[in-house]
Amino acid sequence: MMTPWRYSGSAMVQTTRIMPLDDEAIAEATLLVLAGEPVAVPTETVYGLAADATNAEAVARIYAAKGRPSFNPLIVHVPNLEAAERIGRFDAQARDLALQYWPGPLTLVVPLREDGGAKPVRGTGEQRHGIASIVTAGLETIALRVPAHAAMQALLKACGRPLAAPSANASGQISPTRASHVLASLGGRIPLIIDGGATQRGIESTIVAATDGSLRLLRRGPIEIEAAKQLASKAIEAPGQLASHYAPMKPLRLDATAAEPGEYLIGFGPVRGDVSLSERGDPVEAAARLFDLLHQADGAPAARIAIAPIPGDGIAAAIRDRLKRAAAPRV
Ligand code: AMP
Ligand code: MG
């Protein structure tokens, strides 16, 4: 079933249902997720707002619902290590941590697999392993977690898809540990909250990067760092530094209404370009296509990239924020 989204300014108004965690709730959530809707679901850390990580527009709706002012890479939830290894490349240290702490509140950032599974998906350009590029915000690494909570595990199994899920709160608000917190923050913006009671841990997962042969702690969390440290060949620094934003290599000109010589124009709405973020001027579609088209423009023969204005608030503003940073001179 598809819940109709009604745009009223920047906010989408709809009825938010709360269902207690049971088979019926999981079945309903599964229908919604497979139809491209985000749903709120408890995990052992905080409530997550979960969407199909292979569906770029579904992931864009997470941003629309949260009102996030920019794009950050999201954590992808999978049912087990085997599923994780189909998406990311695990070295021995990463696998050791996964075996020790999964399922549980540990997120591992690993390189995205380049081999196999790549398939162009309609309207979204090239995708690896079906993971939409908006999920990693265009990065070559991916954050993966195997949650322990029965609700998220049941949803993952029923959907058969990896699920991208940041915390289920409006941007700038604190992470929700109860269904009532989610309702207060996102009521009217999402179709369903699964109520599994108060979350056990109440703080976000520990994040460790295993991208270059060493382990780095990116975010402190419920997992004991000392234990992780012992597994590291090099000392873990905290908090870790890792490129968290993709930017195109070429100069980027914003608010372009026509291409100048040597420019590859990314259009939007009435501005026709070499490609378009959304010919119908839909900011959710534009967000879903943003990183694929930036990569495409980077790979085109033209020396420079120009991009049409993306007017509006909400997710359109998030796109503009991301583009402004991509256009800023590198330091
Ligand atoms: P949240 O989903 O709001 O709990 O935040 C996810 C966290 O994971 C953020 O701090 C991100 O910067 C981090 N993260 C997710 N994916 C990556 C990645 N590919 N590389 C580095 N950090 C990541
Ligand atoms: Mg959060």
Backbone angles phi and psi of 150, in degrees to 5 = -60, -35
Q: What is the pLDDT, as a whole number, of residue 121?
A: 42
- Let me know how long the chain is: 331
Same domain, 19 and 71: yes
The helix/strand/coil state of 23 is helix
Same domain, 273 and 203: no
Same domain, 256 and 185: no
Q: Which pLDDT band, with edges at 50, 70 and 90, does 244 fall under?
A: low
**What end-to-end distance do the CA atoms of the chain give, in Å?**
47
Query: Cβ distance 325 to 137 under 8 Å?
Result: no
Distance 101 CA to ligand 2 centre (A): 21
Domain boundary among 212, 228, 244: 228
Q: Is residue 141 part of a domain?
A: yes
Ligand positioned closest to the Cα atom of 145? 1
Q: Tell if the pTM clears 0.75, that is, is over it.
A: yes
**Paired tokens of 124:** 């979204």
Q: What is the pLDDT, as a whole number, of residue 46?
A: 95
Same domain, 170 and 209: yes
Domain boundary among 184, 213, 228: 228
Q: Which domain holds residue 281?
A: 252-327
Distance 167 CA to ligand 2 centre (A): 4
Same domain, 145 and 280: no
Q: Is residue 157 part of a domain?
A: yes
The helix/strand/coil state of 285 is helix
**166 CA: nearest ligand 1 atom:** 2
Which residue CA neighbors atom 11 of ligand 1 most closely? 73
Distance 142 CA to ligand 1 centre (A): 8
Which of 45, 70, 75, 242 to mutate to test ligand 1, by most ligand atoms within 8 A of the CB atom? 75
Same domain, 163 and 308: no
Q: Where are the beta strands (DSSP E) in 203-262?
A: 206-209, 216-219, 252-253
Same domain, 14 and 145: yes
Over residues 13-60, the pLDDT tens digits come to: 789 999 999 999 999 999 999 999 999 999 999 999 999 999 999 999
Spatial distance between the Cα atoms of 30 and 187, rounded to a whole number of angstroms: 19
Distance 318 CA to ligand 1 centre (A): 17
In this structure, the residues whose C-beta lies within 6 A of any atom of ligand 1 are 72-75, 109, 136, 139, 141-143, 166-167, 204, 207, 218-219, 242, 244
Same domain, 188 and 258: no
Q: Where are the beta strands (DSSP E) in 78-227?
A: 106-111, 141-145, 163-164, 192-195, 206-209, 216-219
Distance 176 CA to ligand 2 centre (A): 9
Q: Is residue 247 part of a domain?
A: no
Spatial distance between the Cα atoms of 165 and 173, rounded to a whole number of angstroms: 16
Spatial distance between the Cα atoms of 282 and 268, rounded to a whole number of angstroms: 9
Asked if the model's pLDDT at residue 233 lies above 90, the reply is no
Same domain, 216 and 268: no
Give the Å distances, CA to CA, from 281 to 67, 157, 278: 18, 35, 5
Contacts 24+ apart (CB under 8 A), 1-10: 1/31, 1/32, 1/35, 2/35, 2/36, 2/37, 3/32, 3/35, 3/37, 3/191, 5/61, 9/313, 9/314, 10/67, 10/312, 10/313, 10/314, 10/315, 10/317
Asked if the model's pLDDT at residue 241 lies above 70, the reply is no
Count of beta carbons in the 10 Å neighbourhood of residue 210: 26
Task: For residue 181, count CB atoms less than 10 angstroms from its CB and return exposed for 0-12, middle for 13-18, buried for 19 or more.
Answer: buried
Same domain, 150 and 36: yes
Number of domains in the chain: 2
Alpha carbons within 13 angstroms on the beta-carbon side of residue 219 total 15
Tell me the average pLDDT of the chain: 87
Q: Is residue 126 part of a domain?
A: yes
Ligand positioned closest to the Cα atom of 173? 2
Distance 274 CA to ligand 1 centre (A): 32
Q: Is residue 235 part of a domain?
A: no
Query: Cβ distance 142 to 127 under 8 Å?
Result: no
Domain boundary among 182, 212, 228: 228
Spatial distance between the Cα atoms of 230 and 312, rounded to a whole number of angstroms: 49
Same domain, 224 and 260: no
Q: Is residue 243 part of a domain?
A: no
Asked if the model's pLDDT at residue 124 lies above 80, the reply is no
Q: What is the pLDDT, as a whole number, of residue 203?
A: 86
Q: Is residue 246 part of a domain?
A: no
Which residue CA neighbors atom 13 of ligand 1 most closely? 73
Q: Is residue 81 part of a domain?
A: yes
**CATH, residue 131:** 3.90.870.10
Same domain, 12 and 102: yes
**Paired tokens of 24:** 């019926």
Q: What is the pLDDT, as a whole number, of residue 231?
A: 52
